[in-house]
Amino acid sequence: MQSKQIEVVAPNLKRRLSGVTATVVRLIPVQARMIGIVTTGPGLPPALPHIPLARAATLPRDRWRVWHARRNTEMALGLILRRILRRRYRLLFTSAAQRHHTGFTRWLIRQQDALIATSDRAAGYLERPAKVIMHGVDTAVFKPAKDRNALRRQLDLPPDAVVIGCFGRIRAQKGVDLLVDAAIELLPQYPRAMVIFTGRITPDQRAFAEGLQQKLAKAGLADRVRFLGELPWEDVVRHYQALDLFVAPPRWEGFGLTPLEAMACGVPVVATRVGAFESLIVDGVTGSLVPPDDAPELTRAIARWLADDAARARAGQAALAHVRANHSIETEARAIVDVYCKLLDAVD
């Protein structure tokens, strides 16, 4: 049923949407134009080239293929397929983690034929050589709105407001509380400013989120800081396009794609120095970088961009140009396909 011979299988062994799943969803359509690649596993859109797990486990042994894992479970399954079921898979693992791995994970990593890291920092924790390939974004999807005022009216956002966005799950790790504290200090000084959060609130984080909302209500700012919850993907894109400034304040991060998505929509970014943010944001040009978990520095950086509409507009244009020149999804996909080809060329 596949239009191309299957050369690569990219598993996704998680049903809920996650950063890894989002990576698979956005990359596969681009890579499918370059090589015979399919996904396998649950929770993926039906439009992606896909085979059942049972078929991935029984592909004929007539040729080598690449098994591209992005999670421990997927590395483990790749080993089972090759060593127990004797499938001819070359094993590849991509890591975004910026922490020391457990003993089991290190063992799994040692069994791989090749490694990709999404940043230099992530590569440093692998204890083996890895090809560094940073994530990119689809600039055909993430792009400035043709008519931002009309878009804001559709989204119930004031056309003349300075809209600050922060997108992702609502939890302490994401530094949401730091931005709330900054809003409480800054919004009374900047009457046009408002903040919107999008992202799921899991049951274990409900008390955290409610505490933030109570804090805002006490400060009289509940109507200027909106928690929109988990939105359909197309609505997330539209909210990016409606922003004036994006803030990414996590205390730690694996890679962190949201700043790139915002910049691709022509929005400057204030972000903490975690994940790959230092490699994505040109400090003072496309936005600002601040130390993690530093509320005063985060507040000062946001204030700088709120105070100067012209500088913010220039930074937005610089951000758009920077992403299009350096971080397109086509560049990422091509680099990964090059790794696939080298793995396949290295076997008989």
pLDDT in tens, 187-244: 999 999 999 999 999 999 999 999 999 999 999 999 999 999 999 888 999 999 999 9
Same-domain check for residues 55 and 130? yes
Distances (CA, A) of 116 to 4, 92, 134, 138, 336: 25, 8, 9, 20, 8
Q: What does the alpha-carbon distance between residue 215 and residue 209 come to, in Å, rounded to a whole number?
A: 10
Please list the alpha-helical segments (H only) found in 172-274: 176-186, 206-218, 233-241, 258-264
Are 38 and 84 a contacting pair, CB within 8 Å?
Answer: no
Residue 249: CB partners within 8 Å, gap ≥ 6? Answer: 166, 174, 175, 176, 178, 179, 270, 271, 272, 292, 298
Q: Which amino acid is at 210?
A: E
- For residue 143, being part of any structural domain is answered with no
Does the pLDDT of residue 2 top 70, yes or no?
no
Q: Which of 105, 86, 9 is nearest to 48 (CA)?
A: 9
Distances (CA, A) of 320 to 10, 29, 195: 30, 23, 21
Question: For residue 153, what pLDDT band results from cuts at 50, 70 and 90?
Answer: very high
Same-domain check for residues 78 and 57? yes
Same-domain check for residues 113 and 198? no
pLDDT of 1: 41
Q: Which residue has the higher pLDDT, 257 or 313?
A: 313
Same-domain check for residues 216 and 231? yes
Question: For residue 3, what pLDDT band results from cuts at 50, 70 and 90?
Answer: low
Does the pLDDT of residue 17 top 70, yes or no?
no
pLDDT of 341: 97
Average pLDDT over residues 145-158: 96
Average pLDDT over residues 85-102: 94
Domain count along the chain: 2
Same-domain check for residues 239 and 254? yes
Are 225 and 157 a contacting pair, CB within 8 Å?
Answer: no
Does the pLDDT of residue 10 top 90, yes or no?
yes
Same-domain check for residues 114 and 247? no
Q: Which amino acid is at 24?
A: V
pLDDT of 255: 81
- For residue 215, being part of any structural domain is answered with yes
Domain range enclosing 93: 8-136+329-345
Dihedral angle, C-alpha 230, 261, 315, 309, nearest 10 °? -20
Does the pLDDT of residue 19 top 80, yes or no?
no
pTM for this prediction = 0.82
Are 257 and 19 a contacting pair, CB within 8 Å?
Answer: yes
What are residue 188's phi and psi, to 5 degrees?
Answer: -65, -25
Same-domain check for residues 258 and 211? yes
Q: What does the alpha-carbon distance between residue 20 and residue 264 come to, in Å, rounded to a whole number?
A: 20
Same-domain check for residues 199 and 83? no
- For residue 271, being part of any structural domain is answered with yes
- For residue 141, being part of any structural domain is answered with no
Same-domain check for residues 256 and 282? yes
For the chain, give the mean pLDDT. 94
Lowest mean pLDDT among 10-24, 219-233, 241-255: 10-24
The tokens for 264 are: 């691709």
Same-domain check for residues 168 and 287? yes
Same-domain check for residues 229 and 291? yes
Query: Which CATH number fits the domain that encloses residue 79?
Result: 3.40.50.2000
